[in-house]
Structure 1
Amino acid sequence: MPESKKKPSAKPVTYAAAGVDIASGDRAKERIKELAKQTFSRNVLGGIGGFGALFKFDSKKFKDPILVSSADGVGTKLKLAFQLGIHDTVGADLVNHCVNDIAVQGATPLFFLDYLATGRLENKIIEKVVTGLATACRENGCALIGGETAQMPGFYADGEYDLAGFIVGVVDRDKLVTGADIKPGDLVLGLPSTGLHTNGYSLARKLFFETAGYKPNDRVKAIKDKAGAALMKTHRSYLPIIQKLTAAKLVEGMAHITGGGITENLPRILPKTVSAEIALGSWPVLPIFEHLRELGSVEQDEMMRTFNMGVGLTIVVRPEKYKKVAALLEKLGEKHSIIGRIVKGNRKVVYTQK
């Protein structure tokens, strides 16, 4: 092998010189520990810092417990967070997304772990992200018990990071919501989203910032909001509503509307012999989606499989239970729309006009 033509460095080369500041990382981790402890319940053992996070499962509360887990990320919504310098909401986006994913199966969140990878560690930014994670975990009754903070210079650009999470929840087997008993004639209800939630951002950013030429702080008349603020609205948690509905045994199935929209998410809970007939125009479509459609002359099918279109959660209920469902939602101050019904079919969503 050829010998190196360069002379050895006169000074010892450190990990920090290569871009990984261990001391700074340790300081960030200490602050993360403080934030995480605010989410702890008596079931969390050992605190933060071990090779594995410890959680004592209280099996006495359940007759036949089933653990339900999910993992997800924030996606390219992070690009907008970098542009705007807003880092305290993406953590909530991530937690709420994961909570919804297990809640639709009837599960109560137990604990959450995050993975945060960055180029050069900026403690203030990391603290803001983790503050968002911890706040959302507390609001959802979920313990933030561990995770990983990785410094990867040369892999991520300075000032950028990636964020992903993993959640575990529990539900008694007889309270598991699977959609297996959904049948023709059942109603499909839609609950409103706050905006894009965490999906469709690659297309939305292209249309807003390239096609329309908006700047993040530009006020857009069509949506009565600033471009960046509208896109950064937090992905909401439906957990309190879901818990009330499932406790009253009022739902046959629920679908969290994320990437793929109603088109791809609703079929995930349908039996093989039925389809969902969804009536376009039966719910209020948020102005931001109408504006995105106009900017790119985006076809209807593309909109429906890219965005949630103003529906963040769909619920399938028996017609005879609808009045009770509507009364409960009204009591909770939650708006809803009847957006369709279940028909005989082959596990697809079929769109009709209202």
Structure 2
Amino acid sequence: MVSEYSRSGVDLDKVKRIHDEISKTISSTYTRTVLGAGHYSGVIEVNGIKLALHTDGVGTKTILALRSGILEPVGQDCVAMNVNDLICIGSIPLALVDYIALDKPSTDLVSKVMSGLIKASKESGVDIVGGETAIMPGVINGFDLSCTALGIVNELKTGKDIRPGDVVIGLKSNGVHSNGFSLIRRLIEEGKIAFDSWKDELMKPTALYVKPILEVLPYIKGAAHITGGSFSKIRRLTGLKVELLDMPEPQEVFKEIEKSGVPHEEMYKVFNMGIGMTLFLSKENVDEVMKTVQKYVDAFKIGEVKEGEGIIIRTYKNQVLSI
């Protein structure tokens, strides 16, 4: 049980059970599905072409965006939450559609959010081919933002080729990204985090990892975007034991969240703790991959795959946790 997150209204165990039930139900519709629910993206095959689809949103970070007036970054958040998941299964992102729902019309809000969407889409090589704007008073309080993204798959990367001895590389995050904000907002409301002091850090957009990963895609056996549920996402790739014993020091914003009352172990179950993406590859490819990705983002060799099962993390306080 993730106590502080549950107290904030998000019970990860219950969410997992809902996801499992949905996955079982929708599988009855599969006729052209190559990769169904439960991984980072769904994949269908049409006339020999594999197409990947993913949908995600910004979540309750939108509430703090309104409060702070820092609106443009959530546009990048929305794009990143989709394209970063697409590339985890070896898909090249191509296009997306956006959905923005508001409690009342606001040209200024929409303009700023769209600016972020457009900048992030251009950086990721993605076309925004359409979308929907809905005015929903009584249903929406403020605004909600989500996207659905499409990619093409030349070689599917599901993690099935991961073996003991493989190395895990971590790509640095831009901070909190866009997960765990129900918990963060509760801490702000309780006066445990001074929002005015930390708003610039908290509102930093989710990092875009498309360019570095596409450059090293042939070397990657699997990739895990560290979002909701944090490092537990690695279980989507492999059931082997993954030891992350060389994690870097996280950014100060994570330490501030922890100081506000979140248990140390829970931090590594909710937040990315400075690592936004993990890459799995053979030892002989580590130097080449590190050299390439570091042109775009700081990267670290953070662990290895071993015989057995489970996810083991050595934290910045030198504690060893089983996630």
Q: Does 1:343 align with 2:312?
A: no
Where 1:245 maps in the other structure, the secondary structure is helix
Larger Cα-atom Rg: 1
| Aligned mates of 1:240, 1:67 — CA distance in 2 | 19
Tell whether 2:146 aligns with 1:161.
Answer: no
State the number of aligned residues: 272
| 1:71 counterpart residue number | 55
- How far does the alpha carbon of each residue in 1:88-119 deviate from its partner, in whole angstroms, 9 at most, with x for none? 12111100110100011121111101111111
Amino acid at match of 2:233: N
SS at match of 1:89: helix
Query: What amino acid is aligned across from residue 169 of structure 1 in structure 2?
Result: G
Q: In 2, Cα distance between the equivalents of 1:245 and 1:68?
A: 19
Alignment counterpart, residue 214 of structure 2, candidates 230, 237, 243 = 243
Length-normalised TM-score, structure 1 = 0.73
User: Match of 1:196, SS?
Assistant: coil
Match of 1:30 in 2: none
Classify 1:150/1:308 alpha carbon distance in 2 versus 1 (closer, same or farther; 3 Å): same
TM-score, with length taken from structure 2:
0.79
Corresponding residue for residue 277 of structure 1: 243
Task: Specify every segment of 5 or more residues in structure 2 that has no aligned partner in the other structure, as ranges.
Answer: 1-44
Sequence identity, in percent?
Answer: 35
State the 1:333 CA deviation. 4.8
1:139-196, CA deviations, whole angstroms, 9 ceiling, x for partnerless residues?
2111111111111112223xx1111110010011xx2211111011111111100001
Shift of 1:132: 1.6
Q: Contact conserved, 2:212 with 2:296, CA < 8 A, in 1?
A: no
Matches within 5 A, 1:176-191: 176-191=156-171
Aligned counterpart for 1:316 among listed residues 280, 299, 307: 280
Cα shift at 1:84 = 0.9
Residues 9-67 of structure 1, C-alpha deviations (whole Å, 9 max, x = no match): xxxxxxxxxxxxxxxxxxxxxxxxxxxxxxxxxxxxxxxxxxxxxxxxxx9xxx95311
- What's the C-alpha RMSD, in Å, of the aligned pairs? 2.0
Q: Which amino acid aligns with 2:298?
A: K
CA contact (8 A) 1:105 1:177 kept: yes
For residue 302 of structure 1, what is the aligned residue in structure 2? 266
Indicate the residue corresponding to 1:217 in structure 2: 196
**Structure 1 residues 213 and 335, CA, compared in 2 at 3 Å: closer, same or farther?**
closer
Find out whether 1:266 has 2:246 as its counterpart: no
Q: Look up the SS of the partner of 2:72 in the other structure.
A: coil
Deviations 1:67-103 (A, max 9, x none): 1111001011111101012221211110011010001
Structure 1 residues without counterparts, runs of 5 or longer: 1-58, 219-226
Shift of 1:213: 5.2
Amino acid aligned to 2:274: G
Q: Please give the alpha-carbon distance, in whole angstroms, between the structure 2 residues aligned to 1:282 and 1:152.
A: 44
Looking at structure 2, the residues matched to 128 and 202 of structure 1 have their Cα atoms a distance apart, in angstroms, of 23
Kept in 2: contact 1:190–1:283 (CA 8 A): no
Residue 351 of structure 1: how far off its partner (Å): 2.7
